[in-house]
Amino acid sequence: MTHMSMSDPGADEIRNTGAYRAAVWSVRLGYLCGLVWIGMVWSGYLRGSMMFLTFLLLLPLWVSTNVFLRRAGVRYGRRGLSPQIARDVRRQFNRDVLWLPRR
């Protein structure tokens, strides 16, 4: 008879999942889209409602990132009304997004 662990997966197990890597790339794409949006607003290309509508294009990236992180097994906690990723995982996730070396 085999026993399965009911504990949360470790940070290394989470980082090796395809969903985690997809979340990292989703955030990178979101940063790129955000930079393009800021550049278009700064150059005067976007005005009024077009500025708001193009900003809404970032919403699916934000949602998909959270879905990927949940599927990877990332622990979420609560802080007020908004969910928060566990501090150790959040720190490593930010390092992975910015291509910093693994620790």
Question: Closest Cα partner for 30 from 2, 65, 1?
Answer: 65
The stretch 22-50 carries a mean pLDDT of 86
- CB–CB of 84/12 below 8 Å? no
- Please check the confidence at residue 32 and state whether its pLDDT lies above 50: yes
- Please check the confidence at residue 49 and state whether its pLDDT lies above 50: yes
Q: What is the pLDDT of residues 14-24, one digit of tens each?
A: 888 999 999 99
The stretch 67-92 carries a mean pLDDT of 83
Question: Closest Cα partner for 68 from 102, 28, 41?
Answer: 28
- CB–CB of 30/59 below 8 Å? no
Give, as one character, the DSSP assignment of residue 100.
Answer: P
